[in-house]
Structure 1
Amino acid sequence: MTGSPGATPPVGGPSGVPPAQDAQELARLAALHELGLLDTAPEERFERIVSLARLVFQVPVAAIALVDADRQWVKAASGLDAGVSVPLRYSPCHYTVQQPGALVLEDTARGTRAVDTTVVRQGMRFYAGQPLRARTGERVGSLCIMDAVPRAFSADEQEVLAQFGQLVERELAATGELAAAGAAQRVLLPAGSVGVPGYELAGRCTPARRAGGSYFDWAAEDGRVQLEAADVLGAETASAAVTSGLRALLRATGPGRPRRRPVERTVERSSVGAPAAADGAGAFVTAFAATLEAAGGTLVYVLAGYGAALVLGADGGVRRLAGSGPALGLSPAYGSGWDVRTAALDPGETLLVLTDGFLGLSPDAQPAGGLDAVARRYPGGIGADEAVDLATAWAVTEGHPIDLTVLALHRLPAPSPSSGPGSG
C-alpha cells in the first residue's frame, strides 16, 4: 500500500493511541512473546539484513522493530540505535502491523497522522514499513526504512522491501525452531556438574535449527567419572526422540550399577538399542563413552563413529585419541565391534570431545587435516570452561548447519612443593 501525500491509513486511535486488545490483538501479542526476542542482545542474523536493506535502498536508516502492547522495541538497526523502546503513540511501526501490506509514507510532513511519531520529530520525512509475520500469521513487527527527505517509492521497490521482509520472517521462524531445539536438548543434559577433586568438567550443546540430536552426560561415583557425548545423524525431526532413547540406554550402565568393564557394556548395550531407538528414522549415532579413574588420570574409552577426542597438553601440544570403530546403528557391512582404548590425562592436560558438527567447519576436506585444523585452534593448558567457550565461539562464528556438542575435562596441575602447607 502506497501512502499518497496528505493521506494516512485509518489505523489506531487519536494520536496513535493503541487499539483495544481484542482477541486478534491478544493472539498477536502471544505470538510476539512466544518468539522470546524482546529485550534480547543484538544478533548478527538480523543486523546483516538491516545493513543490506540500508545499502540497497540508499537510505540513512533501516530497522527491525517489534511491536508490543504498549511500545515499539528495536531489535536491529543500521543508522539508528538498536535495543531501545518507543511508546506506541510515538511509534510509526505500530501503524504498519495493523494492515496486511506495506505502509509507505512518501512525505511524513504533509498532513499525516505519523507527524507525531519520534522518527518524524528526529527529521525523518520518508517512511516505508513491511509488516513481519510470525509462523502462525500474526503481524508482530516491521522491517522499515527511513530517509530525511521525501521520496517516491515504486511498486518494484515495494516488492524488494517485501522480499527483505521475508528474509526477516525466516529468521523469526528459525528463532522458534532454535528455542524448541534448545528446550529439547536441555531436557537431555545433566542437571548439574559433578565435583571431582583435582578436575574441572564443562560441556555445552549448541542446537542448529531443528530439534536437538546432540547431547552430553556425566556422573561420578567412588573415584570414577563416566563421560558421554553423542550425536544422532540422519534422523531429521526424530533426532530428539532417538537421542532421548540413547541417553536412557547409556545411563542404564552408568556409575551406580555394578559392572566389571563399564565402557564395553555401555557401548555393547547401546549398539543393540540404537537401531531400535532409531527404527524408521534412518538414524545412526556417533558416540564417545569413557570412564576416568580420577586418582591416576587413566581414561578407558570407546570412540564410535566420526567425532573427535583431543588431549590438549599443558605445553601446547595436541594429540588425538584413536577411534574405536563404526557409528552405532550402522549395518554390519560397515564393521562390528569396538576397540576399547586407554589414554592418560596428565596434570595440566585437557580432554576435549567434539561431535561431528565441528569437523564440518574445517575448510580442509581431508579428515585428518580437518582434525588438525580443529586442534590448532586451541592452546594447551586451558581449563574446561575456557575450552568449551572457545569451541562454541568458533562454531557460532563459522556457522553450523547441524547440532554441536563439546565436552571438556581438565586435570588441574599438581601443586608445586612451595605451595604446600608450611611453605614460605
Structure 2
Amino acid sequence: MSNQSSGGQPPTGADHFSRSGFIFAAIGSAVGLGNMWKFPYITGKYGGAAFFLLFVIFLVLVGLPVLLAEMTIGRGGRGSAYTSFRNLSKVKVWGTFGFLAILGAFMILSFYGVVAGWTLHYAFLSFTGSLFSSSDYGGTFASFSGSYVPVFWLLVVMVLTGWVVARGISGGIEKFNKILIPALLVILLVLMGRALTLPGAMEGVRFFLKPDFSKLTAESALVALGHAFFSLSLGMGTMLTYGAYVDRRQSLGGAAAAIGLGDLFYALLAGMIIFPTSAAFALKADQGPSLIFVVLPAAFGAMPYGTFFGGLFFVLLAIAALTSAVSLLEVPVIYAMEKWKLARTKAAWGTAALIFLVGIPSALSVGGPLSRFTLGGKTYFDLLDFAASNVLLPVGGLVVTLFTGYAWKKAGEEAGLTGPLYRIWLFVLRYVAPVMILLIFLYSLGLFG
C-alpha cells in the first residue's frame, strides 16, 4: 500500500455526496439522542450555563480538529475505516486499529437501535393519546421495557435504517438527511416556542444561559470534554466513512466548521426546550433517560395540547436517532462491501439483520426478561454500552489523532491546510487532543476523576 493522498474515486465509484448533502449527512450523524437527552441531562447536573460554555470551548479546541482529521483520513484513503488506514500507510497495524472503529459502530448500533425504538414507541403512544391515559409514567415505561415489545421496535429501526443505506449514498443517505434534518429544525423551533411561552419558563432559560462558575468542578470539565468529543460522532468511524464519499473540491475545513456549528445549534435548541419545560413544571432536568421517558411525559400531559406536543417531541427524538443510526450502519456496510465483494443491497440488509440479532438481548435486558443476567453488575445492554463508549471510542479517537499527527505526512495537503493553520492543527493533534482523549478514557473507566 502506498503512503499517499490518493484523492481517487469514492469506494463505490460514482456514488458520492454532493457538497450540501455531505454537510446534512454529517450533521445528521452528529445530532443524535445525545444532543436531545444526554446534553440537557449533564448540563443540568454539572452547572448549567457554565458547563455549556465549557462544552463550546472544548468543541472548538479539541472536537473540530479531530473531526477534520477523521474526515481527512476518509477522503485520503477512499474506503472503510480499515481500508483507509491501510491505503495511507505501509504499517499494517493501523488497519487493525481502523477495524476497531468498525466494531465499535456495529456494537453501538445494536443497543442504540433499542433506544431509538423506544422513541418510536413513545411517539406512537403520544399521538394516539394512550401515553397520557395514566399518570403513572414510570410504571408505563417499566411495563414497556420489561416486555418483548422493544424487540419489535428494534426491528422497525433496523428495517428503516437498512432501507436507507441500501439505497446508496446520493439516493439514500443524502436524500434521507436532506429531508429529516430540516424537519428536525422545524420541530425544534415549534417545541421551543411552546416551551418559552409556558408560565415560569424564564427560570429555566436563566439556568441554561446565565453562567454560575462556582458550580464547576474538575469532574464537570471532564464530562464537558467528553461530550464535546462524542457529540461529533468521533472515534466510531462514521465521519471517516462519510469522508470517503466527499468530492476533492469540497473544503473539509469549511465542512468541519459547519458540522460543529450545526451540532452546537441543535444542542442549544434542545436546551431551550428541556430547561424551560422543566422549570415550568418544577421538574428536575438532571435525571438521565428517565427525564425523557418519565419526567417530560408528565409535563406534556399537564400542558394544553400536550398530546400533540408530546408526539412532536418523540418524533424529534426518533429523527435524531435514525439519522445517527444510518451513519453507524454505513460503517460496517462499506467494510462488508470491500471484504466480501458484496453489492450494497446485500451488505446493507445482511449487516442490519446481524445487528438486529445481536441487539435482541439488549432490548430484553433493560428491565426485561434478561435483566437479571449480569456480569460485574452490568446487564448485556450496559456491557455493550460500556465496552463501545468507554473503550473502543476513545481508542478510535486516539488512533485518529496519532495517525494524522505523526504517521501520515500528507495529512495537511489532503485537509487543505497550510501555514499557521496547519501548524496549529498539527500541534493540537500531536500534543493537545491525545492528552484530552486519554483523560476522557481514564475518567470513563473510573480510574481518574
State which structure, 1 or 2, has the greater radius of gyration over its C-alpha atoms.
Answer: 1
**Higher-strand-fraction structure:** 1
Higher relative contact order (CA 8 A, sep 6+): 2
Give the TM-score category using the shorter length.
Answer: under 0.3
**Higher-helix-fraction structure:** 2
